[in-house]
């Protein structure tokens, strides 16, 4: 749990013997706690802070971005107010995508997952190096529909049968909303998801 990890991490930084304290099994024998110089100001929740490598200090997530200012001409429905959760999500998404890792975002309905991801895709992954594709699954989505959707954003390369992102870009980030929606077939599989799994198995 988050409270449990918070307690563990605070005691670890305080140079306590967390192996004995929390009954952790480890091959490192004996465990030797080491002092950690950068101090943190007793945060209520370590998930609200992050480490600034440049300044060698712990800072609140809200300090990682300039102060948010609402423009006079902005429309209400266009406003995306940054929060600790959205800043954390954006950071992790950037880190994982740029290291070519697949991500699964989960959470209750109506918490802003889709709008946060789309905002990040359009701001950070639509440039000379990156293209992006956003689509949504439904109960009627078929595997061939998904394949066609992805292929429309691809272009052929020099070798026959080899495809890559459009406009000769190096990478394409694909976002699929409502991943669990496709209907199950006779053998309880969901073909669109199976196609994605196969694509990922081959390095996509």
pLDDT of residue 178: 93
- β-pairing, 49-52 vs 57-60, is antiparallel
- Sign of the Cα torsion 104, 173, 202, 195 reads positive
Write out pLDDT tens, residues 6-41.
Answer: 888 888 888 888 888 888 887 766 777 777 666 777
* Residue-level pLDDT, tens digit, the chain, 204 residues: 888 888 888 888 888 888 888 888 877 667 777 776 667 777 788 889 998 888 888 888 988 888 888 888 888 877 888 888 889 989 999 999 999 999 999 988 888 889 889 999 999 998 999 999 999 999 999 999 999 999 888 888 777 777 888 888 889 999 999 999 999 999 999 999 999 999 888 887
pLDDT of residue 28: 66
pLDDT of residue 55: 85
pLDDT of residue 12: 84
Structure tokens at 57: 């200090």
pLDDT of residue 9: 86
Number of H helices, E strands in the chain: 6, 6
- β-pairing, 130-136 vs 171-177, is parallel
Write out pLDDT tens, residues 93-112.
Answer: 999 999 999 999 998 888 88
CB atoms within 10 A of CB 107: 10
Among residues 150, 175, 149, the alpha carbon closest in space to that of 163 is found at 150
């Amino acid at each position: 749990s988050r409270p449990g990890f918070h307690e563990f991490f605070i005691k670890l930084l305080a140079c306590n013997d967390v192996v004995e304290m929390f009954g952790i099994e480890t091959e490192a024998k004996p465990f030797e706690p080491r002092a950690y110089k950068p101090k943190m100001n007793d945060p209520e929740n370590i998930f609200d802070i992050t480490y600034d490598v440049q300044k060698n200090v712990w800072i609140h997530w809200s300090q990682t971005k300039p102060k948010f200012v609402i423009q006079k001409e902005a429309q209400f429905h266009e406003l995306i107010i940054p929060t600790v959760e959205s800043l954390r999500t954006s950071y992790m998404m950037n880190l994982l995508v740029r290291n070519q890792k697949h991500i699964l975002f989960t959470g209750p309905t109506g918490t802003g997952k889709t709008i946060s991801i789309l905002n990040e895709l359009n701001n950070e992954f639509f440039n000379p190096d990156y293209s992006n594709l956003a689509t949504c699954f439904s109960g009627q989505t078929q595997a061939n529909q998904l394949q066609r959707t992805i292929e429309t954003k691809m272009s052929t390369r020099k070798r026959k049968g080899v495809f890559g992102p459009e406009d000769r870009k190096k990478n394409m980030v694909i976002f699929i909303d409502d991943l669990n929606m496709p209907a199950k077939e006779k053998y309880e599989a969901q073909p669109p998801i199976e196609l994605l799994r196969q694509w990922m198995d081959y390095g996509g």
